């Protein structure tokens, strides 16, 4: 009993009196205007469908998971969406572990209503096998710190988590065409949920018998205020849900005023969420690209080696046109690459500008480098056949001539390039040798 | 453990220490009397830290670990801001953000007698002094100074109270006046009461100034002295517009 008393947070008479007197002159204890929102930051976790939302001191984590379940009998071809809340005593000493309290249930219900009744998430697309298997999406909301206005923060956390959630792709197959095969994330690109619109909750606090309306009440204000109303609207101005707990009655005009305020705010909040989600998606896709070169290199070089062998095999009876075409293609590429590599070298000479090299990170030019090296190596071996190719090419016409002319040009260019390649490789060593030579 | 002692103790002064760090070795500090403050403990010859924070030293012989917490551990002669919870058996139960409720005897006020015990409602804010902090007992508070005079102690009326960390409240009480308060005091007139338990009470004629002061103090927690001054200047400039 005594321990609980010591851990309870309580508001002093001074504070409650001050909050009210300050509001009389349209001032709020954290220096905001009456209808200002606190700073909203959204962060995402490493995995799909996890979000962390900070609204001032309020801190909420959302996590979305999905599993295949049997659908409800009355809705055989609809997936389900359920919301679970976790009020940790870490967030606020007044939250008790174990059974969810009244506020936890209310919070879950408000968000659930906003999301489900407005059909924000397309549940029909969650159906895999009508009447047998549907996806059941579960949103877990963890309150990490309570700084007031948990509903709004939790609602945004839920939306952000839903928007970044990807469920594994699955197909129906098997013997009777009734088996569901779930593909792992590596095997197939996971599928995002279909979200039609974003219902965003806005909480208003009422003071002084409903005469003073305040948006996004803080922890202290929540203790003092006499009434509360949560309005869930989307960016289009549709009202998805309204919740009005507390005893204090509110005038119709005040409600309309709140609705107007909320719908004017909704677009801005939607924009913030969408921008954050987009940034996250971009980062995710970039991560995938980064992972690519390590995988791609062996894949690219592998078949080329095979091709090379094939050429060596058919060296004697080389199909001239094919080879020449291939060379031309390669050389064209290598010439382009040559330019870029020359540029790179020039850039590399001045270390300050090194980052400016556009193809610095590009895995494909690197792969091509290996390729062209091999080509040049092979060209020594094929040199005999090459002359025949040239002859044939000469016979075949002017266009071909030009091409072979190009080929020769590029051959020389390639050798120089080869040298320059050596330069780059032994860049650090050679000058020293040169210096030594010069000094000796 | 002995390997840790190789770090010369003087080098640890004003450094960050973590629990378990041996900060002083008494074997090479003979003929010295030292006083240990909070966050330190003695294991025969080794003095080790029990809390994470800055290891501080003040001449001639005081050592302690300075740290910042959300929760307050009562210590005698600390000035704290308490909230009255209840009145039971001649004692006020007062919440001082500690692990236990503190007791404030009804007679611990200037001029209080059995017949005239002051009456405080629940949730009244009081400025008090910690008198006893015995292990296994609730800490005891007093509404008078050591000589029995009311002096600065007693109930605080009006104003606004906010909670900070213990580190910030200590900073506000530091002896060359804290830069935030100094900068604010040049432009605004306000009254402030800081408890070492991380509660600060501010009062001014206009609610506006109270809000400015409270927010400036709350923002200054992680700022350096110059940053604090700049922050306050910016804030005041914004207000005067």
List, for residues A220-240, the tens digit of each pLDDT value.
888 888 888 999 998 888 888
pLDDT band (50, 70, 90) for residue A275? very high
**Beta strands across the sheet bearing B40-43:** B22-25, B46-49, B40-43
Residues B5-11 have a mean pLDDT of 52
Q: How far is B196 from chain A (nearest CA, A)?
A: 17
Secondary structure of A63-78 in HEC code, one letter for each residue: EEEEEEECCCCCCCCC
Predicted local distance difference test score (pLDDT) of residue A291:
53
Cβ within 8 Å, pair A13-B121: yes
Taking CA–CA distances from A31, the nearest residue in chain B reads: B211
Q: Which CATH class is domain B79-155?
A: mainly beta
How many C-beta neighbours within 10 Å does residue B178 have? 20
> Where in chain A do CATH 3.30.230.70 domains reside?
2-287
Note whether A1 contacts B: Cβ–Cβ < 8 A.
Answer: no
Taking CA–CA distances from B211, the nearest residue in chain A reads: A29
Secondary structure of chain B in HEC code, one letter for each residue: CHHHHCCCHHHHCCCEECCCCEEEEHHHCCCCCCEECCCEEEECCEEEECCCEEEEEECCCEEEEECCCCCCCCCCCCEEEEEEEEEECCEEEEECCCCCCEEEECCCCCCCCCCCCCCCCCCCEEEEEEEECCCCCCCEEECCCCCCCCCCCEECCCCEEEECCHHHHHHHHCCCCCHHHHHHHHHCCCEEEEECCCEEEEECCCHHHHHHHHHHHHHHHHCCHHHHHHHHHHHHHHHHC
Q: Is the pLDDT of residue B170 over 50?
A: yes
- Closest CB to B207 among A8, A13, A22: A22
Q: Which of A18, A91, A94 to mutate to test the interface with B (most CBs of B within 10 A)?
A: A18
| Cβ neighbours of A27 in B, within 8 Å | 207-208, 211
- Closest CB to B101 among A6, A18, A25: A6
What residue spans define the domains of chain B?
Answer: 2-66, 79-155, 160-240
By the 8 A CB rule, do A214 and A221 touch? yes
What is the interface pTM, i.e. ipTM, of the complex? 0.81
Predicted local distance difference test score (pLDDT) of residue A325:
58
Superfamily of domain B160-240: K Homology domain, type 1 (3.30.1370.10)
Predicted local distance difference test score (pLDDT) of residue A6:
63
Expressed in angstroms, the distance from the first to the final Cα of chain B is: 60
Cβ within 8 Å, pair A22-B211: yes
Burial class (CB in 10 A: 0-12, 13-18, 19+), A203: buried
Q: Is the pLDDT of residue A109 over 70?
A: yes
**Per-residue pLDDT tens digits for A294-348:** 554 444 444 444 444 444 444 555 555 555 555 555 545 544 444 454 454 444 4
Task: Determine the Cα–Cα distance for residues A178 and A129; give it in Å rounded to an integer.
Answer: 8
Name the residue among B131, B117, B56, B45 with its Cα closest to residue B88: B117
| Domains B2-66 and B79-155 are alike in CATH topology | yes
Note whether A12 contacts B: Cβ–Cβ < 8 A.
Answer: yes
Higher-confidence residue of A358 and B123: namely B123
- Average pLDDT for chain A: 74
- Looking at 1.10.20.10, 3.60.15.10, 2.40.50.100, 1.10.510.10, the CATH number of the domain B2-66 comes to 2.40.50.100
By the 8 A CB rule, do A152 and A216 touch? yes
- Average pLDDT for chain B: 84
Cα angle for residues A181, A185, A190 (degrees, 5° grid): 85
Between chain A and chain B, how many beta carbons pairs sit less than 8 Å apart? 63
- Report CA-CA distances (Å) from A368 to A123, A146, A178, B225: 47, 56, 47, 57
pTM: 0.69
- Looking at 3.90.1260.10, 3.40.50.720, 2.20.25.90, 3.30.230.70, the CATH number of the domain A2-287 comes to 3.30.230.70
Predicted local distance difference test score (pLDDT) of residue A246:
77
């Amino acid at each position: 009993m005594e321990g609980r008393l010591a851990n309870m947070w309580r508001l002093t008479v001074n504070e409650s009196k001050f909050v009210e007197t300050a509001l009389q002159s349209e001032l709020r204890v954290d220096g905001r205007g009456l209808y200002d929102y606190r700073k909203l930051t959204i962060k995402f976790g490493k995995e799909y469908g996890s979000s962390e939302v900070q609204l001032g001191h309020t801190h909420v984590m959302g996590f979305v998971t999905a599993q295949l379940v049997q659908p409800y009998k009355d809705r055989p071809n609809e997936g389900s969406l359920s919301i679970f809340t976790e009020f940790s005593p870490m967030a606020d000493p007044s939250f008790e572990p174990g059974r969810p309290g009244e506020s936890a249930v209310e919070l879950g219900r408000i968000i659930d209503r906003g999301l489900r009744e407005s059909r924000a998430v397309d549940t029909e697309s969650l159906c895999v096998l009508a009447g047998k298997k549907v996806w059941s999406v579960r949103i877990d909301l963890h309150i990490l710190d309570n700084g007031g206005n948990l509903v709004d923060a939790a609602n945004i956390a839920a939306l952000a988590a839903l928007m970044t959630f990807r469920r594994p792709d699955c197909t129906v197959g098997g013997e009777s065409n009734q088996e569901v095969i779930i593909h792992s994330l590596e095997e197939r690109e996971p599928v995002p949920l279909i979200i039609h619109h974003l219902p965003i909750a806005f909480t208003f606090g009422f003071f002084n018998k409903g005469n003073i309306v305040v948006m996004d009440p803080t922890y202290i204000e929540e203790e003092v205020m006499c009434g509360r109303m949560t309005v869930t609207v989307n960016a289009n101005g549709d009202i998805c849900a309204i919740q009005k707990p507390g005893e204090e009655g509110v005038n119709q005009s005040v409600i309309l005023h709140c609705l107007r305020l909320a719908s004017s705010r909704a677009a801005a909040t939607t924009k913030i969420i969408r921008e954050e989600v987009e940034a996250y998606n971009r980062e995710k896709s970039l991560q995938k690209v980064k992972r690519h070169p390590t995988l791609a290199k062996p894949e690219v070089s592998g078949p080329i080696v095979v091709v090379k062998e094939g050429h060596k095999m058919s060296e004697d009876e080389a199909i001239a046109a094919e080879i020449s075409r291939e060379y031309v293609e390669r050389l064209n590429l290598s010439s382009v690459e040559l330019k870029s590599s020359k540029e790179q070298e020039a850039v590399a000479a001045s270390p300050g500008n090194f980052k400016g090299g556009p193809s610095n990170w590009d895995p494909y030019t690197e792969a091509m480098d290996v390729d062209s090296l091999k080509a040049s190596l092979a060209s020594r071996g094929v040199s005999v056949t090459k002359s025949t190719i040239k002859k044939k090419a000469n016979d075949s016409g002017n266009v071909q001539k030009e091409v072979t002319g190009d080929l020769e040009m590029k051959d020389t260019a390639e050798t120089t390039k080869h040298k320059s390649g050596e330069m780059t490789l032994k860049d650090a060593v050679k000058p020293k040798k040169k210096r030594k030579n010069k000094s000796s | 453990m002995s390997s840790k002692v190789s770090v010369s103790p003087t080098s640890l002064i004003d450094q960050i220490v973590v629990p378990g760090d041996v900060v002083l070795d008494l074997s090479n500090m003979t003929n010295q009397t030292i006083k240990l403050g909070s966050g330190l403990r003695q294991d025969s010859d080794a003095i080790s830290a029990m809390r994470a924070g800055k290891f501080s030293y003040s001449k001639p012989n005081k050592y302690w670990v300075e740290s910042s917490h959300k929760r307050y551990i009562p210590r005698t002669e600390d000035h704290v801001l308490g909230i009255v919870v209840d009145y039971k058996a001649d004692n006020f139960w007062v919440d001082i953000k500690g692990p236990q409720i503190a007791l404030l005897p009804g007679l611990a006020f200037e001029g209080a007698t059995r017949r005239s015990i002051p009456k405080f409602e629940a949730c009244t804010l009081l400025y008090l002094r910690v008198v006893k902090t015995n292990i296994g007992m609730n800490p005891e508070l007093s509404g008078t100074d050591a000589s029995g005079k009311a002096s600065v102690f007693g109930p605080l009326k009006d104003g606004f109270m906010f909670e900070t960390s213990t580190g910030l409240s200590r900073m506000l009480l530091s002896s060359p006046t804290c830069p935030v308060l100094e900068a604010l005091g040049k432009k605004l007139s306000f009254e402030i009461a800081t408890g070492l338990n991380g509660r600060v009470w501010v009062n001014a004629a206009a609610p506006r100034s109270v809000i400015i002061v409270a927010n400036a103090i709350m923002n200054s927690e992680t700022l350096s002295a110059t940053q604090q001054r700049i922050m306050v200047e910016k804030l005041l400039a914004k207000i005067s517009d």
